[in-house]
Amino acid sequence: MKQTIIELKNVHKDYEIGNTIISAVEAVDLKINHGDFIAIVGPSGSGKSTMMNLIGALDLATEGDIFLDNINIEHLHESELAQLRGKKIGFVFQIFNLIPTLTALENVMLPMIFQNVELEERKERATKLLDELGLGERLKHLPNELSGGERQRVALARALANDPEVILADEPTGNLDSKRSEEIAKMFVKLSKQGKTVILVTHDLDIAKYANKIYKLKDGRIVR
């Protein structure tokens, strides 16, 4: 039986804009198990990005509890949250967020610096990840010398650099054509089979169908 790695209990997230309170997430209960590949789908404004920020410990809930590996992140200080994110979660974003002045290899090595990994191990681990993703001959290329699909694979390698338990991907195929999008989706399937927990936030149902479970958000609530 799979163990729960992430759990949301009666989670609400409100934002104050002027004199108005906007409810972005309402009364969400969700359990995600080790090795799950889930997709969170919904139209723009449904609360998907807010959910991602909450699950990824990038933001705290207004009300409710969020557990990551049985740790209630709502009770942690920012420095503790940063350490937890660095060890447990790898982030993949739509706009890649690669540093333009660093090579593919250097971009992947970067997160390991903050976990105090020695230089030689950083190089070895980053080289292995890029090679596994078919970028062994692109190590010294800058982001602007890579295609969109290659840049997204570099971003995925960077997300895996600290061997996180959870991969959190926010619209990771939004800037890719259908062929490259399918490649990335299949990589997530492979990672899930290897025991990683993959959480995909997307509006693209063609990509979401690769997930084992799909949760639909509407007006900040899970409706399916």
Helix (H) or strand (E) holding 208: helix 205-208
d(CA 222, CA 224): 6
Contact call for residues 208 and 201 (beta carbons, < 8 A)? no
pLDDT in tens, 25-63: 999 999 999 999 999 998 888 889 899 999 998 999 999
pLDDT surpassing 90 at residue 128:
yes
pLDDT surpassing 80 at residue 1:
no
Domains contained in the chain, number: 1
Question: Does residue 11 form part of some domain?
Answer: no
d(CA 202, CA 42): 7
Contact call for residues 91 and 128 (beta carbons, < 8 A)? no
What is the per-residue pLDDT for 2?
77
What is the per-residue pLDDT for 224?
67
What is the per-residue pLDDT for 204?
87
Average pLDDT, the chain: 92
d(CA 28, CA 47): 11
pTM beyond cutoff 0.75: yes
Q: Which CATH number covers residue 170?
A: 3.40.50.300
Q: What mean pLDDT is predicted for residues 3-9?
A: 94
Question: Does residue 43 form part of some domain?
Answer: yes
Question: Does residue 68 form part of some domain?
Answer: no
Burial of 70 (0-12, 13-18, 19+ CB in 10 A): exposed
Tokens 């399918």: give the residue.
182
Question: Does residue 210 form part of some domain?
Answer: yes
pLDDT in tens, 77-95: 988 998 888 889 999 987 8
pLDDT class of 121 with cuts at 50, 70, 90: very high
Q: Strands, DSSP E only, in 47-143?
A: 63-68, 71-72, 89-93
Contact call for residues 46 and 34 (beta carbons, < 8 A)? no
Question: Does residue 16 form part of some domain?
Answer: no
Chain-centroid distance, C-alpha 122: 21
Residue 184 neighbours by CB under 8 Å, 6+ apart: 149, 152, 153, 156, 172, 173, 176, 207
Identify the domain containing residue 210 by its residue range. 35-58+85-222
pLDDT class of 130 with cuts at 50, 70, 90: very high
pLDDT in tens, 148-201: 889 989 999 999 999 999 999 988 888 888 888 888 899 899 999 999 999 999
Question: Does residue 116 form part of some domain?
Answer: yes
